[in-house]
Amino acid sequence: MKKKKKKNFIGYFNFDFKKENKMASQAHMNHEVIPDALPYVDHGYDEASVQSMVNELIDEETKRYRPTKNYLEFMPSANYTQFETKTMKAEFERISNRQPMELLSMKRYELPQPPASQKNDLVAWTECLKNSMAQLQHQSERVANLDLLSQYGADSWRSHCHILQEMFEAQQKKHAEIKRKIQEVNWQRKSDQVKAGVELQHLEESWIGLVSKNYAIERAIVETEKEVETLRQEVA
């Protein structure tokens, strides 16, 4: 009769960290996710063995990940000049060439007379007169705008501030609602994990009880086989 290999009872309760580490690494390489943590339930993260295992996982990932590798090589090259206008390009070129910025031109506000060579030219004086009339009209419009601003600017600004306040309050309400939803998600996650933790604890206790019974049955079988073998030898 073949002798059954005696199983080590303690082996049932030993956690193979190397095996789990290998499985986690393989899953990571295959871009799979193994939900193997319940932060609201699990304990023992401060133990030296757990910290050592975490450091080993970090070291392993650090060896596989090369910071100098271009991990964005699959994406097209960035076009940094896509949104640059002609004015922006000219300004960037001026800055790169270290050229001074052009001063604000006040030429459009000047009222020059015809040059000395055209003092008696009717066309030149007509152009100067048109320029003077345009400048006068421009200043008249500025005065009208200032009058309108002094008359209606306060109410307009008050209305604008009121609209901004309403927008701010609406964003505050959205922010509070998002925070409330986040809190509800966190509470729900905690509740689900606590329930799962209780169930896992119950299943673990049941598993330990069944393993203990199996071990006791195996020992009883081994003892019975020894007794049967002894009786057979006595009978023979």
Q: How confident is the model at residue 234 (pLDDT cuts 50, 70, 90)?
A: confident
User: Radius of gyration of the chain from Cα atoms?
Assistant: 43
Among residues 67, 52, 65, 46, the alpha carbon closest in space to that of 21 is found at 52
Q: Which residues contact 1 (CB under 8 A, 6 or more apart)?
A: 225, 229
Q: What is the per-residue pLDDT across 96-142, written as a single tens digit (0 to 9) for each?
A: 999 998 888 787 778 888 888 888 888 889 988 898 998 899 999 99
Between vectors from CA 139 to CA 135 and to CA 140, what angle results, nearest 5°?
115
CA dist 120 to 111, 116, 131, Å? 18, 9, 18
Burial of 190 (0-12, 13-18, 19+ CB in 10 A): middle
Please compute the mean of the pLDDT values over residues 194-214 and round it to a whole number. 92
Question: What pLDDT, on a 0 to 100 scale, did the predictor assign at position 173?
Answer: 97
Q: What would the pLDDT profile of 134-189 be if each residue is shown by its tens digit?
A: 889 999 999 999 999 898 888 888 999 999 999 999 999 999 999 999 999 999 99
DSSP-derived letter for residue 75 is S
Confidence of residue 47 (pLDDT cuts 50, 70, 90): confident
Rounded-to-integer distance, Cα 233 and Cα 41, Å: 56
* pLDDT value of residue 113: 85
